[in-house]
Amino acid sequence: MTKRFFIVHGWEGSPEKNWMPWITRQLESKGYDTVAIAMPNPDNPNMQEWVKCLTDAVGTPNPDTYIIGHSLGCITILRYLETLKGNNRICGLVLVAGFTSNLGYEELESFFKERIEWNTIRENCRKFIAIYSDNDQFVSTHYGAIFNENLSAKEVLVHGKGHFDQEVMQEVLDAALSISE
C-alpha cells in the first residue's frame, strides 16, 4: 500500500500558501500520495466543518496514513484523531506551530470548547513530532512541551522561522520523512 500524506493549513491559510505547495511537490517526488486540503471558510474557521473536511479527505485511515498540520490545522487533526474508532488509526503526525488554547482569539473558540482527549489521540496515532520557532509571534514554544508531555512528541525548535510562513521548510520535510520511515 502506498504511503499517504495529508497536509492541513491553518487559519486564513490555503494549500497554495507558504510552504504547502513546496512540501506537496517534495513528498510527491519521493513517491508519496500527497493531498494538501483546502479547509472550508479559512478566514472564519469552525471546528466541526474542519474536522468533517479532514475526515472526508482521508477516508479510511490506515497504518500508511500520515498528516502534517500547521497552526490551527494541528488542533483540527487532534480533534479528528479523537473521532477515530476501532482499528482506524494513522501512523504519524507532524505538528507545526500547534497550540492547545484559543490564543485569545474568539474566532478559534469552537476548537477548544471540549477538553483534549490525549489518551484517545495517542491510541489513534503512533508517532508525533512538534516543530516550533523561537520567534513565532503567535505561538509560544511552551506548546511543544505540552505535546511532548501528553503525546511523547519529539520536539524540534528552529531559529528565526516566525510562524512558518516561508516558501521552503526543510525542517517540516525532514520531520515528515522521519515519521514515515
169 with 144: CB under 8 angstroms?
Answer: no
- Residue pointed to by grid coordinates 489521540: 121
- Residue 48: Cβ within 10 Å count: 10
Q: How far is CA 51 from the centre of its chain?
A: 12
Q: Which residues of the chain have pLDDT under 50?
A: none
Contact call for residues 155 and 130 (beta carbons, < 8 A): yes
Fold of 4-179: Rossmann fold (3.40.50)
Q: Residue 57: which H helix or E strand, with range?
A: helix 47-58
Confidence at residue 174, expressed as pLDDT on a 0 to 100 scale:
97
Q: Give the pLDDT of residue 181.
A: 86
pLDDT value at residue 151: 98
pLDDT tens for 41-54 read 999 999 999 999 99
User: Which stretch of DSSP H or E encloses residue 155?
Assistant: strand 154-158
Q: Tell the residue number behind the cell numbers 485569545, with chain if given.
A: 104
